[in-house]
Amino acid sequence: MCGRFVSSSPPDELADYFGATAPETLLPDNYNVAPTTDIYAVLERPPEAEAPPERAIETFHWGLIPMWAKEQKIGNRMINARSETLLSKNAFKPALQRRRCLIPADGFYEWKAVGKDEKNKPKKRPMFIRRVDGEPIVMAGLWERWRGPEREWDEALHSTTIITTSANEFISDIHDRMPVMLAPSKWDAWLDPSNSDTDSLASLLVPAPEGLLVAHPVDPQVGNVRNNGVGLIAEYEPPVETLF
C-alpha cells in the first residue's frame, strides 16, 4: 500500500514539470502526508469548443469518496485502490473510465519488517523511498466529485486515491505492494478524459522498473502523523532494540 508520502516541491516547479497550470490553492510543504489531508494531483480538463484540453494541478482530499456515498468518512478506507480489482469495484470503475489523475511525490514511506520483539510481535523499521535521480515520483490515481446529501454541485468535494500494484524485486524486500508509477511517456494516455479503453489503461498499471528507486531508514517519529519537517527524511539508523 501507500499510506504516507512527502510533498515539498514548489507548486510552480510542479506546474512546469507537468506542463500544467499551477494550483489556485497552495498547500504547505508536508514531509508526512497522511490520509484525509489535502494533496496535489494533476488532471486534464476536457476541451471546451475549439480549445485543446487543459492540464491542471488541483488540490484533492486524499481518500476517494464515491459519488453514491452517503458519508464522507467512507473515503478513510479508500486511500489506495488495488490495480488488480479496479474493474470489479463499483467505487473505482467509473473513475477508471473517466476520472484519472497523477499524484506527484518527492518520495514515500514504507515500514520494513526486521524481526520479532520479546513478545514475538513484528518489529518494523520506517524507510523513505525515492527516485535515484531525484525526480518526482509520479503515482497513478483516480478522482471523484462528491456532494453528499447537503452540498450544492458547485460545493462538491474532490477526492482521490493512489493506485497500487505488486512490488517489484527491490520494493519486495520492504513491502509486497507499491504505488503505480507512470513515466512521462504514459501521462497523455492516462490523463486523456476521452480514453475509456480500460484494457489499455490497465496495461499501464505495472510495477516500476528495477533501478528506479533507492531507500534508506528514517526516524521512527514519522509514525506519528503530528510530526513533520525535513528531518523526517534524513537517513537514520536506530539501535536494533528500539525498532518497532
Report how far residue 153's alpha carbon sits from residue 178's, in angstroms, rounded to the nearest whole number: 34
Cell reading at 226: 503530528
Q: Which three cell numbers stand for residue 145?
A: 466529485
Stated as kind and residue range, the H or E segment containing 18 is helix 11-18
CB atoms within 10 A of CB 23: 18
Give which of 170, 181, 171 is closest to 205, Cα–Cα.
Answer: 181
Task: Quote the CA–CA distance of 133 and 21 in Å, as a whole number.
Answer: 25
- Nearest Cα residue to 66 out of 156, 155, 181: 156
- State the Cα–Cα distance between residues 58 and 153, nearest whole angstrom: 17
- Which residues form the catalytic set? 2, 110
C-beta separation of 66 from 74 below 8 A: yes
Neighbours of 77 (CB within 10 A): 11
Other C-beta atoms lying within 10 Å of the C-beta of residue 178:
24
Return the residue matching grid coordinates 476536457: 46
Task: Identify whether the C-beta of residue 36 lies closer than 8 Å to the C-beta of residue 74.
Answer: no
